[in-house]
Each structure stands twice: as C-alpha cells, then as structure tokens.
C-alpha cells in the first residue's frame, strides 16, 4: 500500500534500507487496477451494501483526486451523483476541473453534502469540526488508507451516542438528534464492506511474484539498497498475461515500424515514467 511505500522511501532516504526493495505499488498495471479500476467499482459496492443509498442526485464530496479519487468520482458521476472534490496538488486539481468536477475546500460545502469520501492517504482530512457541521443523515467513509483520514477518535466523546445499526454501519448521534452515518469506523470501505474481484488479485499477485523473481535472479549489483520501480518490461508482461481474459488482440510492430520508433518489437514500449 501507499503507506508502506512512504516508509520504504523514508528508510532509503535515511540510508537505513538494508535490502533492495521493489515499489510494485507504483507499477502502472498494479496502480491502475488496485486503485483506479478497482475503486471505481468498490465505492459503489461498499456504499450499497452498507447503506442501500440511491446514487442519483446525491451531493458527494471526494477528498483527494489521485487514482483512487478518480475511480470513485468517475463511478459516482456516471450514476448521477453531483460530485465535487478537494485537492492539495494543483496538477490533480486541474485534472479534476477538466473532468468536470468543482474543486472546493471541504469547509465550503460540508453542510450540503449527502456523502463524504476520503482518499488522500493523509490524516485528519475530516475533522470533528467538520463532522459537527454535516447535515442529518450524511454518510462518511474512507477509501484512502489506514484509518487516519477521518478523525474518528474525536467522535468517541460523551456528548455523542454511537448506535450500531448493522455490521460496519454506525450512527453517531448528536445531542440535537442529528445522525451521521459512519462506515467501517473509518477504516477502508473497499476492504471492509466490499469485495476485491479475483481479477484484481491476480494482477496484484502476478506483479508481486514477478518483482520477487526479478530481485532474486538479478545479477550482483543491479539493485542496491534502494527502492526501485518494477522494470517496465515486467509491468508490460503482467498486463499481457491478463489480456486473453478480454479476448483482446495485440498488434505487433513490423520491423520497419520498430526501427522507426527505436523500439524492440517485444517491448518495453514506453519510457519508465509513462503512466
């Protein structure tokens, strides 16, 4: 997960990483499937299974427009929700604009929202102050990482009543009767309240296995005590292993085309930074 990657890079920066490490989380295939494509489906699934909410016409704020946020926003918008986003990164914010989402600060919209979804990888993105300002019936959940994004601890306080209405669903009740619907106690909705399709597991497992094989087989010195991205060619290999499921037919470069592009006919086809 992204959290553990942070730790690896911090260890590396501090010179404390004692073995080579492969950041498989940021391989294109894994990233897109684990985050974008998987969350596009699991946000809907997780919300439905816990709340039976109808998406059409709902006002939703998604905190964070990275791959997970993009997946959530695409799905919710497609089903008729009115979605706005919060971002700290101007590049992601501009992408949100281009994709048709208003970019707001959470405090500007919190009173009107029917659903609040966090996917930032950060902590205390939803604070007690904001929870206090939500409207009755507002649903709050976390698609990001760990259980840090919503300040759940602040809700464990004497003036608020917790009522477990079903598995993974708590009503937090304010003294005036207002209820906020908290899912999975702020832990990951996609892990707690949805399922991960076997197809995504296959992508992840294949990527991890290939990374381990690469590290094990690599000649002395190819990898130092640092964090590496999966070699592009392996990333492409993971993808190609999964194409037959979709009856997808790849085109092969002719010799002339490969030469023109300066590419090997078997890949890799893109520079390492390509996403």
Contacts of a second copy in 163-202 (CB under 8 A): 194-195, 197-200
Rounded to a whole number of angstroms, the minimum distance from the CB of residue 176 to a second copy is 20
Rounded to a whole number of angstroms, the minimum distance from the CB of residue 243 to a second copy is 6
Under rule CB under 8 A, residue 29 binds a second copy:
yes
179, 133, 130, 120: which is closest to 151 by C-alpha?
Answer: 130
Please, how many CA atoms are within 13 Å of residue 202, restricted to the half-sphere of its CB? 10
Q: Residue 160 or residue 197: which is nearer to a second copy going by CB?
A: 197
Q: Residue 124 or residue 208: which is nearer to a second copy going by CB?
A: 124
Binding mask 74-113 for a second copy (x = CB under 8 A): xx-xxxxxx---xxxxxxxxxxxxxxxxxxxxx-x---x-
Rounded to a whole number of angstroms, the minimum distance from the CB of residue 141 to a second copy is 17
**179-183: strand order across its sheet:** 102-103, 82-86, 59-63, 115-118, 139-142, 179-183, 169-173, 161-166
Under rule CB under 8 A, residue 251 binds a second copy:
yes
Q: Residue 53 or residue 160: which is nearer to a second copy going by CB?
A: 53
Structure tokens at 220: 């002395």
Strands 161-166 and 169-173: antiparallel
Under rule CB under 8 A, residue 215 binds a second copy:
no
Stretch that binds a second copy, among 155-163, 166-174, 180-188, 263-271 (CB under 8 A): 263-271
75, 186, 205, 100: which is closest to 141 by C-alpha?
Answer: 186
Distance between the two ends of the chain, CA-based, in angstroms?
18
């Amino acid at each position: 997960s992204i959290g553990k990657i942070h730790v690896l890079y911090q260890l590396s920066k501090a010179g404390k990483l004692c073995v080579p490490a492969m950041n498989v989380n940021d391989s294109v295939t894994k990233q897109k499937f684990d985050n974008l494509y998987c969350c596009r489906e699991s946000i809907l699934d997780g919300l439905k299974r816990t709340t039976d909410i109808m998406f059409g016409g709902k006002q939703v704020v998604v905190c964070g427009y990275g791959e997970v946020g993009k997946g959530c926003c695409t799905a919710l918008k497609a089903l008729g929700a009115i979605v706005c986003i919060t971002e700290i990164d101007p590049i992601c914010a501009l992408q949100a604009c281009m994709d048709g989402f208003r970019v707001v600060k959470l405090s500007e919209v919190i009173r009107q929202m029917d659903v609040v979804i966090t996917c930032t990888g950060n902590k205390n993105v939803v604070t007690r102050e904001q929870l206090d300002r939500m409207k009755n019936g507002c649903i709050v959940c976390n698609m990001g990482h760990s259980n840090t994004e919503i300040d759940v601890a602040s809700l464990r306080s004497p003036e608020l009543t917790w009522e477990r209405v079903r598995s993974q669903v708590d009503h937090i009740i304010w003294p005036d009767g207002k209820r906020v619907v908290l899912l999975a106690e702020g832990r990951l909705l996609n892990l707690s309240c949805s399922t991960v399709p076997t197809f995504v597991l296959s992508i992840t497992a294949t990527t991890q296995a290939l990374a381990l094989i690469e590290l094990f087989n690599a000649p002395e010195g190819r990898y130092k005590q640092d964090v590496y991205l999966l070699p592009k060619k392996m990333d492409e290999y993971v993808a190609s292993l999964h194409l037959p499921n979709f009856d997808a037919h790849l085109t092969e470069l002719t010799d002339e085309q490969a030469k023109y592009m300066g590419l090997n006919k078997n890949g890799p086809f893109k520079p390492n930074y390509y996403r």
